Amino acid sequence: MSKIFLIVLLIFCDQVSKLAVLKRLHQNESIAVIANFFHITLVYNTGSAFGAFRDHNWLLSYIAVFAIILILYMLVRRPRFSSDIYMRLWQWALLFILCGATGNLIDRIRLGYVVDFLDLRFWPVFNLADSFITCGVFVLLFLLFNKKAIE
């Protein structure tokens, strides 16, 4: 599967899921999928993770643009890893972070906020783009703290 196709597919899935929720729910409205555990709850997030920097959309947009440029640079200028599998993990992790940052940036530019809707009741409401970023960061941390990975 082409990396460009994967990028387009992940961003598309993120955006379509957000549009579907926006069409069906009003802000702060919730639908139980698994009662008291998993709900679909529409939240307009004007901040970043855990609501930090609330109402600083312009600053968060600039940070996202900077992150996207940095990730593109990192994809071109690759570090040396001890095996091909670690190099692939590095690339996939960066691609996932790139897709998540792009998906949320699209929301910020288009709507002025990020659409969050996945509600686990014990965690702040999030979206697919947030999940992509989180998965990518965990893989990067694994690689950075795994001494066998880096030459």
Catalytic residue among 14, 107, 116, 119: 116
Burial of 121 (0-12, 13-18, 19+ CB in 10 A): middle
Gap between the Cα atoms of 95 and 89, Å rounded: 10
Active site annotation includes 116: yes
Active site annotation includes 14: no
Closest CA to 42 of 101, 102, 126: 126
Catalytic residue among 14, 107, 119, 130: 130
Return the SS3 of 27.
coil
3-state SS string over 120-144? CCCCCCECHHHHHHHHHHHHHHHHH
As annotated, the active-site residues are 116, 130
